[in-house]
Amino acid sequence: MKKVAIGQAGGPTAVINATLAGFVKEIERDHALLFIQNGYEGLAHGMYLDGDSEMLSRVHLHKDVPGCVPWFWTLSVNR
């Protein structure tokens, strides 16, 4: 199975939520997903979160949320 790391930076939160959910929906069946925590800093320091079923469910639930997604801030790299 191929692995894909997802990271986004900048832009309106509503657009980021929607594009992330759309991307995940398209590739989650055929790929193992990793999420990059804290944008470019997380990428540089290997700060990844596993795209487990709980994480993917949360991404799908927040696709239409127009503001920030506070649950993401509380996730730990050591999950």
* Tokens 């949360």 sit on residue: 58
* pLDDT tens digit sequence for 16-47: 788 888 888 988 888 888 888 887 888 899 88
* Model confidence pLDDT, tens digit, residues 42-68: 889 988 888 899 988 888 888 888 765
* Single pTM value for the model: 0.65
Say how far apart CA 12 and CA 50 lie, in whole Å.
Answer: 24
Q: Using an 8 Å Cβ cutoff, are 36 and 67 in contact? A: no
Residue that the structure tokens 């925590």 belong to: 37
